Amino acid sequence: LLHAALRQTLGNHVQQRGSLVAPDRLRFDFAHDARLTPEQLRQVETEVNDIILRNYPVVAVEKPLAQAREEGAMALFGEKYGEQVRTITIACNGDRYSYELCGGTHVSETAEIGPFVIVSEGSVSAGIRRIEALTGYGAVQYIQDHLRQLNRLAAQVGATPDTLSERIEGLQNELAQAKKQIERLQREQARSQFDKLMQQSEAINGAKVLIAQLPETPVDTLREMSDWFRNAAGSGVMVLGTVTDGRPQLIVAVTDDLTKQGLHAGNLIKQIAQIVGGGGGGRPTMAQAGGKDASQLPNALKAARDLIAQANLTS
């Protein structure tokens, strides 16, 4: 039934390449070069269940191979057959749904199969797909388990199974709005924190220098702080460090006038990043780096101060 439904849905190029059939589950390999869409899987599953519910008789007849082929019987690719073969016909009132050569055990009527549920579809090799499905009591258990899970999830978010999708969409929208608000508040907090840091900036050889270690701060915020620094300082160097998810992060910003005096943000960060067990680089005016040893971040910032002092900067 699955073989026939796949050919009906995908085309006659579909051919069986292997299978496993147990009382309550099956695995079916077939020739096809693309992933089945959810709509195609649903169509195949619906068609198989439709033939099961129609309770077509399943008739086994032995006949000569040549006769079976002439009548259009499907043969397993690569299989060798004798002169006499066993054919399986699934048909009702002249409506033949499937006609194959097969020596396996079969039900006498399709309704004996019970429910049919596809549980997975994927690739096993180039040009070969695999469908795994459940039937009978295995399918019933699968459906019951998923219905229980659906009801439990719906109850957890204050919805019914019928309104669960809309409820999840609403919660996702609420979460997105909350994230935006959190990001806005974090940015405002970061700006306030930066303004306080600017008051702690120091003069090294006549240049304004801001060196600081911040509590966990997103890298995007550090980059934005480099822009704030250029606007606020006019001329200067900023070196900031933070620890994110246990890993040190560094960023260096140098104003244009100081790059002309030989101070290169990329070269500076390469040297201090080594101290935290990392590497990085960037443009003369802005560079960032990550590392592995967060405990060495204070030493990296101290080294940055020493390197800037050695540059003999002037305002």
Alpha carbon distance 272, 290 (integer Å): 10
| Average pLDDT over every residue of 249-256 | 94
Cα→Cα distances 71→64, 65, 99, Å: 11, 10, 9
pLDDT band of residue 312 (cuts 50, 70, 90) is low
**Do 114 and 107 form a contact (C-beta atoms < 8 A)?**
no
pTM here is 0.65
Q: Where are the domains of the chain?
A: 2-145, 192-310
pLDDT at residue number 109: 95
Q: What is the CA radius of gyration of the chain?
A: 35
Token pair in block for residue 37:
């869409």
Which CATH number applies to 2-145? Answer: 3.30.980.10
DSSP code at position 94: T
Q: Does domain 192-310 have CATH number 3.40.190.10?
A: no
pLDDT at 279 over 90: no
Alpha carbon distance 293, 277 (integer Å): 6
**Do 73 and 99 form a contact (C-beta atoms < 8 A)?**
yes
**236: β partners:** 208
pLDDT at 169 over 70: yes
Tens digit of each residue's pLDDT (9 = 90 or more) over 31-84: 999 999 999 999 999 999 999 999 999 999 999 999 999 998 988 766 788 899
